[in-house]
Amino acid sequence: MKMHVAEHAPGAIVLVLPARNEEATVGTVAERVPRTAGGRPVECIVVDDGSTDRTAAVAVAFCDADGEYAPEELDRLVAPILEGRADYVVGSRFAGEVRHMRPHRAVGNRILTSLVRRRSALPVTDGQSGFRALSAAAAASAVIVHDYNYAQVLTLDLAARGFRYAEVPISYHRRRHGRSFVRLVPYLRHVLPAMWRTWPASAEEIACEPSSSPDRRQGWARPQPPVSVPTGMRSSASI
């Protein structure tokens, strides 16, 4: 599945907020989305992932997700891209402030992150973060191999394509409303095979491209000290 970049205001930062049954939090979080980041206008897109409550009706006006991440930190997240230091930036909860993450989720995150790190050869500290940003070129090139979850396969795909990776520390608060779609056994059953398929598939596709961009293959950018746009096919995709 290719990611499509729609037309937006010149130089705008597009913040994508996947949401599923987030009626209780959609309004309050949307009000916190900054109007500008890095001196650029911010445009919000809410992806309603089959909600059965009033998420879609509320989101049209407010643009929200589950409240685990702080949209006020968007400026920090996009800075490495705007400064030309990275093409793909992940907000790392474990490099920032984690508040009240349940122990089993913390352990699961560590294990899956170690797999992403080994598979990608990048110093990933949070492979499941739901707060991330992509340059226009990275977004246009990315391929997501399944529609269950995007987090790990997006990183592996872009790493295989040579896009520069960076992390920035972000804060995290456990959701207070609603329920994540993540259930351990189904999650692993879908995610692990997709992770294994993504890197070879991306590498093979790149080898067939006549004009791949060697200038962007410069590895990773070191995470910045605290001074980081959620994307995805599923809401609450982080664990």
Q: pLDDT by residue (tens digit) across 202-226?
A: 556 666 665 444 444 445 554 444 3
Distance CA 161, CA 153 (A): 12
Contacts of 107 (CB under 8 A, 6+ apart): none
C-alpha torsion sign, points 134, 140, 142, 144:
positive
Contacts of 206 (CB under 8 A, 6+ apart): 160, 161, 162, 212
Q: Is the pTM of this model over 0.85?
A: no
Tell me the pLDDT band of 60, cut-offs 50, 70 and 90.
Answer: low
Q: Give 15-51 pLDDT, tens digit per residue.
A: 887 888 888 887 677 778 898 999 999 888 777 788 8
- Taking CA atoms, 97 is separated from 116, 125, 191, 220, in Å, by 21, 13, 26, 22
The pair of three-digit structure tokens given for residue 210, joined into one six-digit string: 């006549």
Indicate the DSSP class of residue 9: S
> Where do the H-state alpha helices sit in the chain?
26-30, 55-62, 74-82, 103-120, 136-141, 151-160, 184-208
Tell me the pLDDT band of 158, cut-offs 50, 70 and 90.
Answer: very high
The three-state secondary structure class of 202 is helix
Q: Give 98-118 pLDDT, tens digit per residue.
A: 777 888 788 888 888 999 999
Distance CA 56, CA 217 (A): 39
Segment 125-153 mean pLDDT = 85
Fold annotation for 13-221: Spore Coat Polysaccharide Biosynthesis Protein SpsA; Chain A (3.90.550)
- What are the sequence ranges of the domains in the chain? 13-221
The three-state secondary structure class of 139 is helix
Rounded (5°) CA angle 122-12-215: 40
Tell me the pLDDT band of 97, cut-offs 50, 70 and 90.
Answer: confident
- Which of 56-65, 157-166, 203-212, 221-230 is predicted with the least confidence, judged by mean pLDDT? 221-230
- State the CB neighbour count (10 A cutoff) for residue 20: 22
